[in-house]
A = this chain, B = another copy of it.
C-alpha cells in the first residue's frame, strides 16, 4: 500500500527531560514528573470537558528516535524481542502513547504529571483515559510479566 498519511502537530509537550538517558520509560516509573502540554490556539476549544478526567492519553511523535529494527533488546529485558512486542520508541511509525495524569488546565495549556516524554516532543492527539474502555488489569502481559530487567529509565539505545 503506497498511501502516505500527513499529520501536523496540534501542540508541543514541555517536560524536564532534555535527553533520553535518565528519562522514565513509562508514566508508571515517572514518579509524578511534571510538565505542560501546550495546545495550539485554534485547537483550544476542543479541550472543553477534559478537566473531569484524571488521566489522559497523549499520542505524540518520537521525533528523536533512530530508524527501527524489527528485533530489539527492550529496556525491560536482556534479550531480543520482536519490536511490536515492545514499547520501544524506534518504530516504523514512531508514535508514542503515554497515559499521563491531568493536573489542571489553563486555557490552552494542560498541566500534567507522570511524564515519560522528551522535552519539545510534537503532540498529535489527546484522548480521555476511560477506565471502562482502557483498563484491563487482569490480562496476560507476555514477556513483560517476567521482568528480566528492572530498568525504569531510558538510555541511548533507541535515539
Q: Which residue numbers of A lie inside 8 Å of B, CB to CB?
A: 1, 3-10, 12, 26-28, 39-40, 43, 45-55, 57, 59, 61, 68, 70-71, 81-87, 91-93, 95, 97, 99, 122, 124-145
Given the complex, which residues of B lie within 8 Å of A52, measured CB to CB?
85, 140-143, 145
User: Distance in Å from the Cβ of A53 to the closest Cβ of chain B?
Assistant: 4
Query: Do A8 and B93 touch (CB < 8 A)?
Result: yes
Query: Interface SS of chain A: helix, strand, loop or mixed?
Result: mixed
User: Distance in Å from the Cβ of A97 to the closest Cβ of chain B?
Assistant: 6
User: Distance in Å from the Cβ of A57 to the closest Cβ of chain B?
Assistant: 7
Task: Identify which of B1, B48, B132, B137 contacts A9 (C-beta below 8 A).
Answer: B1
